[in-house]
Chains A and B, each alone.
Chain A
Amino acid sequence: MSTKVENQKGWLFVLPVVLLVAFNAVIPLMTVVNYSVQETFGNNEFFFEGVTWFEQVLHSERFHQALGRQLLFTGIILLIEVPLGVAIALAMPRKGIWVSVCLVLMAMPLLIPWNVVGAMWNIFALPDIGLLGRMLNNMGIDYNFTRGPIAAWATLVAMDVWHWTSLVVLLAYAGLSAIPDAYYQAARIDGASAWAVFRHIQLPKMKRVLTIAILLRFMDSFMIYTEPFVLTGGGPGNSTTLLSIDLVKLALGQFDLGPAAAMSLIYFLIVLLISWLFYTLMTRDEAT
């Protein structure tokens, strides 16, 4: 990428983007920062509190547990969705009408509004009137996601795999179809095994799109709110209360604006830090 020319006119090109995003990002973020250092008793009276809320949130058992659940959830779904998505993309047909059929059907879950996804899985998994719940119970498995924490987690993970694996498939497939046929022909002449083709041709060519896929899946799963809220409401008990569900409970349920704002900032910083680590690790080779 050393062929770029020095041109300060670039700023003019990015100006509209910067203005639009800044309007939506900087002002609300400052509002949150403002709340996070103050205490209010209503009547628009505010008192400066410094870092009290940050200390309170960072030391609270409740935050640690929500963060733990969030990390566990994101870890599980990344470990399932990324390999599964790549495997499906590799097995997909390369040409003909079936490509369109596969792509259109697979992209369907991505375009369903998130609360509909939650509601859909709720009625799909209900033990008495849902297809999945009924099937599992008929097979002799005692399954009720509204009562058992393990069943609730399994349903949550299944829902997310159902919802988002296709994103990985689409991106991986886009990367795969960019590989010229000549590469495969050369591999065939050399008598390369399927694994060698995957390791030395397909995987390197998919690197860029997989970076996008992993980053997107990490961020979105870490920020997930609507689907688990509609599906389980964070229950049973607190077993599926992920970070943003906990945050909304704190901000809108208890109206503790200060602690909620402090938690928002800590939450945002965690996403930022982990994304930056991913991004640097995965693009490290490109720079050299």
Chain B
Amino acid sequence: MKRLQWLVPTLYIVFLMLPIYWLVSMSFKHTNEILGGFTLWPREFTLENYRVIFTDPTWYGGYINSIIYVVMNTVLSVAVALPAAYAFSRYRFLGDKHLFFWLLTNRMAPPAVFALPFFQLYSAVGLFDTHIAVALAHCLFNIPLAVWILEGFMSGVPKELDETAYVDGYGFWRFFIRIFLPTIAAGIGVAAFFCFMFSWVELLLAKTLTSVWAKPIAATMTRTASTSGYELGLLAAAGTLTIIPGAVVIWFVRNYIARGFALGRV
């Protein structure tokens, strides 16, 4: 049984790759070929779909917009979540447990509920159609998640580490930045990964809060369905390109995730 164990992940990965293969292969086909009949791989291999995306500013601008607000959100979420998670894992203070649960409840608010009020709120403060608006809005669900993940990692670090550092004459912030943060580097990697992921894939709020200047790529894609008929080839090429930034980020955090909660051993 041990010898056949590799089959399980392999079959699972094949299952994962099938729809992705279909998308990628479609992106190299002309729309006529897609609609004309069924072909397992492109008969006439074409880069035309990608050429359109890389030369049309409304297309490639969407990628730049998405990346800007996602990076802003990830940095912001992790930066404010770090001290908060430390407080939750080390201190007892008035209402700490209720506060923690309240934070989590925001992770449970369906974006469909908030779409309209968000539009009104961000219009009122003059941030509508900016990258900051989307980055701030995504904090709603990313900060609670980051706090939760980081708190888990920090609770795995023994308190003796803090106490030893104070005895050695470290001030709080010097200890926090020079000793504590490197100790939980894996946790920061995992938290940043999840923030990036949920901000990158979320569309309902991002679409509601933008119209032209900060429009995300995924919203640009819905345009192809309406204005120029149903250009499946172009849609597939744009979809394929949305997979790439994610793949790059996973590559960077893969060792953090693999090492995972190994800190518990300390």
Contact = CB atoms under 8 A, between A and B. Distances in A.
A137 to B, nearest CB: 10
B40 to A, nearest CB: 8
Interface stretch (B48-56, B132-140, B177-185): B132-140
Contacts of A91: 5-9
Contacts of A209: 261
A7 B93 contact: yes
Contacts of B37: 129
Nearest to B222: A115
A87 B8 contact: yes
B203 interface: yes
A71 interface: no
A128 B37 CA distance: 8
A108 B24 CA distance: 14
Tell me if A's interface is mostly helix, strand, loop or mixed.
helix
Contacts of A92: 9
B19 A121 contact: yes
Contacts of A212: 148-149, 152
Given A124-B19, A174-B190, A226-B204, A14 B258 contact: no
Contacts, number: 279
Interface in A94-145: 99-100, 102-116, 119-121, 123-124, 128-132, 134
Interface string A1-27: 101111111110110111011011101
B34 to A, nearest CB: 6
A282 interface: no
Contacts of A23: 136
Contacts of B110: 222-223, 225, 243-244, 247, 264, 267-268, 271
Contact of B261 (A9, A107, A174, A252): A174
B257 A174 contact: yes
A113 B16 contact: no
B117 A27 contact: yes
Given A18-B99, A264-B113, A103 B250 contact: yes
B128 interface: no
B113 A247 contact: yes
Interface string A30-64: 01100000000000000000000000000000000
Contacts of A223: 108, 110-112
A122 to B, nearest CB: 10
Contacts of B81: 17
B258 A100 contact: yes
Nearest to A230: B222
A274 to B, nearest CB: 9
Contact of A123 (B22, B96, B148, B255): B22
A223 to B, nearest CB: 4
A209 B187 CA distance: 13
B140 A21 contact: yes
B159 interface: yes
Given A9-B91, A10-B87, A21-B144, A115 B257 contact: no
Interface string A197-236: 0000000000011001000000100110110000000000
Contacts of A191: none
17 contacts: A4-B90, A32-B113, A32-B114, A103-B258, A104-B250, A108-B246, A114-B203, A120-B22, A123-B26, A123-B236, A124-B18, A124-B22, A131-B18, A177-B262, A178-B265, A219-B108, A248-B112
Interface of A: 1, 3-11, 13-14, 16-18, 20-21, 23-25, 27-29, 31-32, 87-88, 91-93, 99-100, 102-116, 119-121, 123-124, 128-132, 134, 162, 165-166, 170, 173-178, 180, 208-209, 212, 219, 222-223, 225-226, 243-244, 247-248, 251-252, 257, 264-265, 267-268, 271-272, 275-276, 279
A-B residue pairs, 10 tightest by C-beta? A111-B246, A28-B117, A174-B260, A178-B261, A13-B87, A10-B93, A91-B8, A10-B91, A10-B87, A31-B117
Given A24-B139, A103-B254, 6 more contacts: A9-B87, A20-B76, A111-B249, A113-B216, A178-B262, A279-B104
